[in-house]
Structure 1
Amino acid sequence: MMYVVVLANQKGGVGKSTLTGHLAVEASRSSRGPVVVLDTDPQASSADWWNAREAQDIAFAAVEDVTGLAAQLKELEAAGFKLAFIDTPPQATDTIQAVVDCADVVVIPTRPSPHDLRSVGRTVELCENAGVRPLFVINGAAQRAKITTEAVMALSVYGAVCPVIIHQRTDFASSMTDGRSVQELDAESRSAGEVSNLWDYVSSQLKRVKK
């Protein structure tokens, strides 16, 4: 049985690709694999990250056409994969809807800013269309910023908000440049701890999915 985790937000620059890679690595490290990453974003950030990666613990599957994604996922499940993480593009509504329709859990990374919070409604609608409850993750937060608490309260109206906050740190960007993750740069770092806790929470939500 394979579970599908989709990272989606119609606003760009919220960290979908970064969290896709980091969650995939953490899931594999937690022995929840085999894990496969798919990238439906024309910018191909997740694909570029995977191509730069030396470790062979995570597979990658190219998506030629999202209209055939459901069939492709069934093939990956038949091949023995247990988890699929799918990165999505910003703004391409039809594309994102086709991907969200295949999801067991939709993770919506959101930066704690008024502009980001105002834009989440469009992505929530896609989740509602697919009958999937969204899971929000505050990403790129400043330390001890009041707006982060306000963002959690605002997002809770739409769906579940992960209690783990991902803070803005340079090691996230540094690790992605050569296909690694913060866990692999320094397993004892605060960033690595946040990613580990984030995966624990996403994993707990997957256990509630009835297949």
Structure 2
Amino acid sequence: MRVVAVTSQKGGSGKTTLSGHLAVAAAAAGPVALIDTDPQGSLTAWWNERISKTPVFAQASLASLGDDLAHLKEQGFKLVFIDTPPAITRANQLVISKADLVIIPTRPSPHDLRAVGATIDMAEKADKAMLFVINGATVRAKLTGEAAIALSQHGTVAPTILHNRQDFVASMIDGRTVLETHPSGKSAKEVKTLWAYVEDRLRRLPVKASFKTVPLNKAGFGNRTHPPIDGVHASQ
């Protein structure tokens, strides 16, 4: 079973939307579970509006996350997506420590790029594979290319960019995704292509022996501070 943590320090990066869309795309090929660790409960609210029984929503707590994941594995789930709160907390580090892959959605803006360093630090401290997903981009904007270049200096950037379209947000209102509301649209094509890439990355990752944890300092974080990401301008 593979565990994917979708996390970012910056609020509004699109973690919940990305978690739901990737999970729906992945569920077409096998059993997928969703876990919501964000106190705001946006993913939970979306799933409660959903008619389809897939992906499955799993009740889990941070205190028993390792046991909860082991139970899902015993039940035959092949993939778990975990949505996280927009912050750098001990809870986020715990989720990252249980993950095989850390997906970091990042909007192509100077504020988002400056904020992403702390998330990178947590993933690197836990020795986890990272994947940046540029989200909410404006079509043909110069800033999008600059963001990709800046992020590529710190890790792998998904070749598929999710663009800012109203159908992404609208589809989440009633528990669906663009894969279900506009299956032939550009947004759905982007999600399918992105999932194919993520699936390939997961397939290539080494199999872990257990859900291992990482040491925390007194503040609950790693000791190293990651430098901010520079080189991106506000012009489009």
Q: TM-score, normalised by structure 1?
A: 0.96
Distance 2:9 2:81 in 1: 17
1:75 aligned partner: 71
What's 1:22 paired with?
21
Q: Within 5 Å, which residues of 2 pair with 1:185-196?
A: 185-196=181-192
In structure 2, distance between residues paired with 1:48 and 1:103: 23
**What per-residue deviation string (whole Å, max 9, x for no partner) do you get for residues 87-127 of structure 1?**
00011421100000011111000000001001111000110
The number of equivalent residue pairs is: 207
Identity %: 52
Amino acid at match of 2:7: A
User: Can you list the C-alpha shifts for 1:147-201, whole angstroms capped at 9, x where unaligned?
Assistant: 0000000001110000000000000111100000001011110000000001011
Instruction: Tell me the residue number matched to 1:158.
Output: 154
1:126 matched to 2:125 = no
Equivalent of 2:54, from 52, 57, 64?
Answer: 57
- Counterpart position of 2:35: 38
Corresponding residue number in structure 1 for 2:175:
179
Cα RMSD (Å) = 0.8
Aligned-partner residue type, residue 19 of structure 2:
T
Q: In the TM superposition, what is the alpha-carbon distance from 1:57 to its structure 2 partner?
A: 1.9
Residue 8 of structure 1 corresponds to 7
Distance (Å, rounded) in 1 between the aligned partners of 2:58 and 2:143: 38
How far does residue 75 in structure 1 lie from its aligned partner after superposition?
0.6
What SS is found at the alignment partner of 1:173? helix
Q: TM-score, normalised by structure 2?
A: 0.86
- Residue number in structure 2 paired with 1:146: 142
Which stretches of structure 1, 4 residues or longer, exceed 6 Å deviation after superposition?
none
Shift of 1:62: 2.0
2-structure distance, mates of 1:60, 1:94: 23
| Deviation string, structure 1 residues 3-31 (Cα, Å, up to 9, x no partner) | 111100011100000000000000012x1
**Which 5+ residue runs of structure 1 have no aligned equivalent?**
none
Work out the CA distance in 2 between the residues paired with 1:135 and 1:166: 14
Q: 1:199 aligns with which of 186, 195, 198?
A: 195
Structure 2: give runs of 5+ residues left out of the alignment: 208-236
Q: 8 Å contact 1:8–1:109 — kept in the other structure?
A: yes
Q: Pick the structure with more helix per residue.
A: 1
Larger Rg: 2
